[in-house]
Amino acid sequence: MKSVAITGLHRGENPQPGAAVAAALRRRFPALRIVGLSYDPFESGLYCPDGSRPDAAYLMPYPSVGPMALAERLDEIQEREKIGFVIPCLDSEIANFIAIRRRLKKRHGIECVLPTRKAFDARNKDNLHALCKRLDVVTPRTQAANSSEALAACAETIGYPVYVKGRFYEAHLVNSKQDLCAAFDEIAGVWGGPVLVQEPIVGEEYDVVGLGDGEGGIIGSCSIRKMLRTSAGKGFAGIVIADPALDELVERIVEALRWRGPFELEFIKAPHGRHVLLEMNPRFPAWVDFPSQIGCNLPERLLGDFFGAEPTPLGDCSPGQMFIRHSIDVVTDIGDLAQMVITGERGGLRVGGKPELEVIK
């Protein structure tokens, strides 16, 4: 059996999806070899002593370097691995993987289930308003700019307070031009431009994870209402809900985009109001292992055809089922971290004196 490579392995306060994807896959394929593609030796998922830990891990160039650096690094890795499938789990890297998808298939036979570039661009934060207007989906007023002065002018048309948001991650609620300029500098310095300004919507938050078939249909999905959130707005607890109106919106969006692969749709709903679409993310969310434990294993279904395994039926998640995230202390040896930080490669975790994870730069 070929290996599956997964990115996004951090499991801190703002967890990335990769570890949850790995855990969901191992529920169906316990002997699956998982290769971690890591951007940081401190990604905690590299050290977790559970089913989400990769069997081998490789340090990668940052997504901002561009698609060719990613392709060349994967060329090097494939000389040592037999990767047959890649599941990218971070917003900032999806465009790079779309750009090299054909190259990966032609050179190495590596599969990667992704949307078309047209569909990917249509749901970008700076294009989302136009998409929603065409589909009669409510979304907050949003404008984009490449300078703080231009963004401040946009904010004046919306009215304070507003959210200042990065094109991939991060959002700050600001109440003045001074705060807006500071938030712009912080976000643009990390994620580049454009930076967005968006009207705030007050209400309960909803999240939908799903898998599109590329023909306008949905293979499976799970909808939750967020019950707890972190300071960064990430769901720390959620409960499955049944909402036909929400389901219809999701179907409308996925059908229009003919979306292929994983997706996450984030909504907010004021009392007695309509669902408002905040954003559409082109990957699984960090809570994707939750539905895999209650009969809807979407990562497993993503790989079903690739492995030639009999697809496990995707059941409807029962309303009332819920998850609560919790933090644990991961124990490892300082030698493992030091070796990776200093040399860029590590022979393995010292579990009972025996290395178990190989990390190579």
Task: Please list, in sequence order, all residues whose beta carbon lies within 8 angstroms of the beta carbon of residue 252, skipping any fewer than 6 positions away.
Answer: 135, 137
CATH code assigned at 168: 3.30.1490.20
pTM as predicted = 0.90
Q: What is the DSSP letter of 260?
A: E
Residue 179 and residue 84 share a domain: no
Mark out the alpha helices in the chain (DSSP H runs).
18-28, 67-78, 91-108, 117-122, 128-135, 148-158, 177-191, 244-257, 289-292, 298-307, 334-343
End of a domain among 160, 181, 198? 198
Are residues 174 and 214 located together in one domain of the fold?
no
Of 338, 106, 354, the closest CA to residue 346 belongs to: 338
The verdict on 221 and 319 lying in the same domain is yes
> Are residues 343 and 318 part of one domain?
no
Please tell me the predicted confidence (pLDDT) of residue 347: 46
Residue 187 lies in a domain: yes
- Asked if 23 and 106 sit in the same domain, the reply is yes
Comparing 122 with 169, which gets the higher pLDDT? 122
Summarize the confidence of residues 12-28 as an average pLDDT: 91
Question: 355: pLDDT confidence band, cut at 50, 70 and 90?
Answer: very low
Quote the domain boundaries for residue 193. 146-198
Contact 254, 212 (CB under 8 A): yes
194, 294: one domain: no
Cβ neighbour number for residue 259 with a 10 Å cutoff? 28
Distance CA 274, CA 72 (A): 46
On average, the pLDDT of the chain sits at 89
